[in-house]
Amino acid sequence: MNLLFVGDVVGKPGRAALLRLLPTLVDRHRADYVVVNIENAAGGFGITPEVLAEFEDQPVDCYTSGNHIWDKKEGLVLLDENPRLLRPANYPEGNPGGGLFVGETAAGIPVATINLEGQVFMKPLESPFRVADRLLAELDPEVKVILVDFHAEATSEKQALGIYLDGRVSGVVGTHTHVPTADERVLPSGTAYITDVGMTGPYQSIIGMRSDRVLKRFLLQSRVSFEVAKRDVRLAGVVIEVDEVTGRAERIERILIEDERT
């Protein structure tokens, strides 16, 4: 079976690219299950009910997120209302939502998605390694196909989690930095890995934001509001071929497609 994961959707340009390109991508790669990270979908920061509703008719089985999922207060209620919308599992108890969802393909194959956030250069959260151990121990043993979205800053931490989970999950895909890496591979015990999938959004930018705004903050070291850029919009993702009987990955392919209408 084929898992399709789409990297961080950034603002309106990213949403438009996803809506235009995803159906064709699903057909082209014969994707059986689709996961999309949407933590930057609403103006580059967070999610809202209106934005999530735009994806209602799209072939998406699960949504992941990261540290920006908390940025729009009107979106927080969605975490409890929609179990398919995940936030990182290693945030403290008492927060809305959860970081694990088990869905099914059209053929009835169960697929688990786990969302975790890194600690290095980020918040002092519970260890993503220990939380992954706990969630995997709680999973029904019949669930063999497991995808982890690791939303983290440091490449070393991402690689460490990939190696730590090798042979226990089907794939570990990195998100958050918005820059696609070229290190996709299947690890020795059968886990597909990539340090960062990249963003679905405007690449004529600084990680999705207007370059002039970001440069002003770096130069002046003062508060400057960011704004999503508009040009050179691309969809970034990976397709992972998995043996649904064993849960082992057999192949991973990196995807970066230009949205020609932008």
What percentage of the chain carries pLDDT values higher than 70? 100
Residue 78 lies in a domain: yes
Which residue spans within 65-169 are E strands per DSSP? 100-104, 110-117, 145-151
**Residue 109 is assigned to a structural domain of this protein:** yes
Please report, for the domain that includes residue 144, its CATH number.
Answer: 3.60.21.10
Backbone angles phi, psi at 59, to 5 degrees: -80, 60
Q: What are the tens digits of pLDDT across the range 51-85?
A: 999 999 999 999 999 999 999 999 999 999 999 99
**Predicted local confidence at residue 260, as pLDDT:** 73
Contact criterion met (CB below 8 Å) for 35 and 60: yes
- Tokens 């850029």: give the residue: 229
* 176 classed as catalytic: no
Q: Three-state secondary structure along 181-213?
A: CCCCEECCCCCEEECCCCCEEECCCECCECHHH
Q: What is the mean pLDDT of residues 129-148?
A: 98
Residue 70 lies in a domain: yes
The model's pLDDT over 213-245, given as tens digits with 9 standing for 90+, comes to 999 999 999 988 999 999 999 999 999 999 999
Reported as a pLDDT band with limits 50, 70 and 90, residue 253 is: very high
- Please indicate, yes or no, if residue 87 is contained in any of the structural domains: yes
Q: In what order do the strands lie in the sheet with 185-186?
A: 100-104, 110-117, 145-151, 171-175, 192-194, 185-186
Q: What mean pLDDT do residues 98-125 have?
A: 97
Question: Does 143 fall in a domain?
Answer: yes
Average pLDDT over residues 85-93: 97
Q: Which of 223, 228, 197 is nearest to 211 (CA)?
A: 228
Assigned domain for 243 exists? yes
Three-state DSSP class for 151? strand
Q: How far apart are CA 188 and CA 208, in angstroms?
A: 34
Instruction: Check residue 110 and give its pLDDT.
Output: 98
Q: Does a structural domain hold residue 44?
A: yes
**Number of domains composing the chain:** 1
Query: Which three-class secondary structure state does DSSP give residue 70?
Result: helix
Q: Which residue do the tokens 């960011």 mark?
A: 226
In a domain? residue 212 = no
* Better-predicted residue by pLDDT, 91 or 261: 91
pLDDT for 111 equals 98
Instruction: Tell which residue, 68, 76, 75, has the closest CA to residue 45.
Output: 68
pLDDT digits (tens, 9 = 90+) for 180-217: 999 999 999 999 999 999 999 999 999 999 999 999 99
**For residue 112, what pLDDT is reported?**
98
Length of the chain: 262
Tell me the residue range of the domain where 40 lies: 2-203+229-258
User: Average pLDDT, whole number, for the chain?
Assistant: 97
Model confidence band, residue 262 (pLDDT cutoffs 50, 70, 90): low
Burial of residue 42, with CB atoms counted within 10 A of its CB: 0-12 exposed, 13-18 middle, 19 or more buried = buried
**Residue 15: per-residue pLDDT:** 97
User: Which of 29, 68, 151, 178 is an active site residue?
Assistant: 68
Q: Do residues 159 and 173 touch, judged by C-beta distance below 8 A?
A: no
50 confidence band (pLDDT: 50, 70, 90): very high
